Amino acid sequence: MAKANLPGFLITGLTLTGKSKEPASLTFSRGLNVVSGASDTGKSYLVDCINYMLGGETPPKTIDESKGYEKLWFEIETWGGDAFTLERSLRGGDFNLYSGKLAEVGENKEPTTLKQKHRAGATDNASGFYLSLTNLLDVKIRTNKSGKTRNVTFRDVAHMTLISEEHIYTTRSPIHPTGSFTNRTVEESFFRFLLTGVDDSSVIATRPATEEKVRREAQVEAIEVLIEETEKALRELTDSPDEISEQLEKVANTVSELTESVALDRSRLHERQEQRRVLWSQVQRRTARLEVLERLENRFVLLNKHYDSDVERLNAVAEAAYTLSQLPGASCPVCGTSGLEIEEGAASVDVASLQEACKEEIRKINLLREDLDATLSDLRDEMEQKGRGNERDRRRYQRIAEEIENELRPAEVVNREELSELLDVRAKLERAEGLALQISALRQRRDSIASSRKKKVKRNEADVATAKTSESTEFCQFVEELLEEWNFPESGRVTFSEENQDIVIAGQDRKSHGKGIRALTYSAFIVALMWYCRSKDRQHPGLVVLDSPLVAYREPDAVERVKAKDVKGAFYKSLADWEEDVQVIVFENEDPPKAVQRSANHVHFSKQVGRGMRYGFFPK
């Protein structure tokens, strides 16, 4: 059973609403909660929503599924059982606070407005409200090594409880989540407070002893401001400043490959366009020739008909002459001329010669017709050949045209667009690289100025904010026990490095491991800190959110060692066996073991519709 007076709170639900949109919601419970499933199902968006509702300034990045949604509703509950619901627009701005669960929020229930901006010691803002639930409202921490202090904000707490995928495998210490030099003193002071339970409210700020010291500190502060501004500009360009060189190399290789691919696509496109042009020219020439041949054919057919007509006429003349020569003599019934006179006149015509002349003419015409038939045959053969050629080339032309329009041109457009995008990315990374070099130069300048201080002063200033080995010994034992429960492949004694402000495992710095091990040990650090604070009655919300603590085990540096010891199963079993006075929310790609699915609050995003499965965070 959870203690009623424990500080902090747990998340019980998160809901998105919008006009004409089905609400997207997810419920959480005490103990272990696991949200697993495929990529693009809303897990990362959920992490951003939780961070936003815990006071983050930036709304979750808009994705296709979130379009149309307008408000976020965030249900929390103190460990004593008091329920609250916070409402916030996805466009940013202040919060509305309701007493009770979301289902109890009605039109007649007036909310209390919580400002987004933190105000020290006040509870009229979201940060102050969360701090009051965690008994951290009046806690003060150091902001610089001269002893200047400020009140804790809930963002200081959130950095130690909500761990994004970006941070979980970083080489930075979990004590320094922002990576900003100007925040180091604040982050180290807050961690030391969690270890010792003693804040910095009793610290009296000291003034510089000499003008030289004032000048040096002013220079350092000015450089730190420049570093912070440059780091902010760098973070806007890349989420992984430590991997710029590697990213540039990958982008350069991809640009080179895409450039070759674009050139090849363009060459193939031009080649096929030239083939298409040549085919079209051939079809046009053949078509023009076919038109000429068709006209010739028509003329030759007409000439052949004339030959037929001439032959028929000659045959008729020969036959008529023969018929007349065979008629008997008689007087003409018209003119009265005697048959003898007619015969004497007809005798002057040689019928045989006439018939022979007709035959000769017919023979000549037949010879001409044979030549015409041969010419027509050759002409028709040529027409058939050119027609087949046109049909073949038209088919080839069509295939090439379809290939150009459906394959080559779209592929070239896509590759050119990808190349353009990559060139933009490369330019962005080159700017980021320039900023990273500028930051490095500024840090060297700052360190050079700082190193000119007396060692005694430097030692005394360092002593006031950072956690000591003696103060962290018991916390390290919690980390060590937790790693053993998780079957950590390289477990051993865990100690604390004052220089790095990070844990050392079996004599090896945490940051020196690969991504997979770093993610696991970062998770162990955060969970053990919650466990330690709970055992010591420290002011911790009792809530931890881990985004993808096990995904990095797919990296080559860790996968074989981790598989051999079933770290994944041990990781989940350990968290599931805890008492219900804490809440751990894990977002992962793969499902936990079956036994853990039954004992924990497990939600699986299947990326499938129907059959009782949940597609993702957003209704499908």
591 vs 34: CA distance, rounded Å: 8
Q: Does the pLDDT at position 441 exceed 70?
A: yes
| pLDDT (tens digit per residue) in 226-266 | 888 888 888 888 877 777 888 888 888 888 888 888 888 88
Mean pLDDT of 376-380: 91
Give me the pLDDT at residue 449, please: 83
Find out whether 74 and 14 touch, Cβ atoms under 8 Å: yes
Q: Which residue has the higher pLDDT, 419 or 288?
A: 288
Dihedral sign from CA coordinates of 425, 428, 434, 440: negative
Could you tell me which CATH number the domain at 9-206+469-605 has? 3.40.50.300
365 vs 512: CA distance, rounded Å: 108
Top mean pLDDT of 211-220, 262-271, 291-300 is at 291-300
| pLDDT (tens digit per residue) in 324-361 | 777 766 666 777 666 555 455 544 557 888 888 988 99
Q: Which residue has the higher pLDDT, 552 or 429?
A: 429
The second-level CATH assignment, the architecture, of 243-326+350-452 is Orthogonal Bundle (1.10)
The alpha carbon of 392 is separated from its chain's Cα centroid by a whole number of angstroms, namely 46
User: For residue 53, which of 22, 18, 93, 80 has the smallest C-alpha distance?
Assistant: 93
Give me the pLDDT at residue 564, please: 47
304 vs 506: CA distance, rounded Å: 110
Give me the pLDDT at residue 102, please: 93
Which residues, 6+ apart, have CB-to-CB distance to 568 below 8 Å? 550, 553, 562, 590, 592, 593
Find out whether 165 and 548 touch, Cβ atoms under 8 Å: yes
Which residues, 6+ apart, have CB-to-CB distance to 169 below 8 Å? 515, 516, 518, 519, 522, 552
Tell me how crowded residue 135 is: count the other CB atoms within 10 A of its CB: 17
Q: What percent of the chain has pLDDT over 90?
A: 50
SS3 546: strand
Domain borders along the chain are 9-206+469-605, 243-326+350-452
- The DSSP secondary-structure symbol of 614 reads B
Give me the pLDDT at residue 565, please: 61
Find out whether 472 and 499 touch, Cβ atoms under 8 Å: no
Give me the pLDDT at residue 562, please: 43
DSSP strand pairing (21-27 vs 583-588): unpaired
Name 503's bridge partners: 496
539 vs 136: CA distance, rounded Å: 7
Give me the pLDDT at residue 213, please: 74
| pLDDT (tens digit per residue) in 149-158 | 999 999 999 9
594 vs 584: CA distance, rounded Å: 18
In order of 65, 231, 498, the CA distances from 505 in angstroms are 43, 30, 14
14 vs 300: CA distance, rounded Å: 91
Top mean pLDDT of 86-95, 108-117, 170-179 is at 86-95
Give me the pLDDT at residue 338, please: 60
- Look-up of token digits 């919008």: 18
Give me the pLDDT at residue 455, please: 45
- Look-up of token digits 């000769």: 360
CA angle 79, 157, 120 (to 5 degrees): 100
User: For residue 330, which of 313, 344, 342 has the smallest C-alpha distance?
Assistant: 342
| pLDDT (tens digit per residue) in 9-25 | 999 999 999 999 999 99
526 vs 574: CA distance, rounded Å: 14
**What torsion do the CA atoms of 279, 280, 282, 288 make, to the nearest 10 degrees?**
160
In order of 1, 151, 179, 200, the CA distances from 182 in angstroms are 42, 16, 9, 18
User: For residue 247, which of 264, 233, 266, 234 has the smallest C-alpha distance?
Assistant: 234
Confidence of residue 169 (pLDDT cuts 50, 70, 90): confident
Mean pLDDT of 433-457: 77
| pLDDT (tens digit per residue) in 92-105 | 999 999 999 999 88
In order of 394, 553, 555, the CA distances from 169 in angstroms are 61, 11, 11
Residue 482 tokens, joined: 């937790």
Which residues, 6+ apart, have CB-to-CB distance to 115 below 8 Å? 94, 95, 124, 125, 126
Give me the pLDDT at residue 558, please: 46
Find the helix or strand (DSSP H, E) in which 282 lies. Answer: helix 244-325
User: For residue 310, which of 359, 243, 253 has the smallest C-alpha distance?
Assistant: 359
DSSP strand pairing (543-547 vs 162-163): parallel
Mean pLDDT of 517-529: 94
Average pLDDT value over all residues in the chain: 86
Least confident interval from 163-177, 365-379, 550-564:
550-564
| pLDDT (tens digit per residue) in 391-421 | 999 999 999 898 888 888 888 888 788 888 8
Q: Does the pLDDT at position 385 exceed 80?
A: yes
Give me the pLDDT at residue 272, please: 87
Q: Does the pLDDT at position 33 exceed 60?
A: yes
Amino acid in position 514 = G
231 vs 438: CA distance, rounded Å: 10
Q: pTM for this one?
A: 0.61
User: For residue 196, which of 465, 524, 497, 493 has the smallest C-alpha distance?
Assistant: 465
Give me the pLDDT at residue 436, please: 85
34 vs 547: CA distance, rounded Å: 10
Mean pLDDT of 302-313: 91
Find the helix or strand (DSSP H, E) in which 277 lies. Answer: helix 244-325
Q: Does the pLDDT at position 370 exceed 50?
A: yes
Confidence of residue 214 (pLDDT cuts 50, 70, 90): confident
192 phi, psi to nearest 5 deg:
-65, -35
Give the count of alpha carbons within 13 A of 87, CB side only.
Answer: 19
Give me the pLDDT at residue 347, please: 47
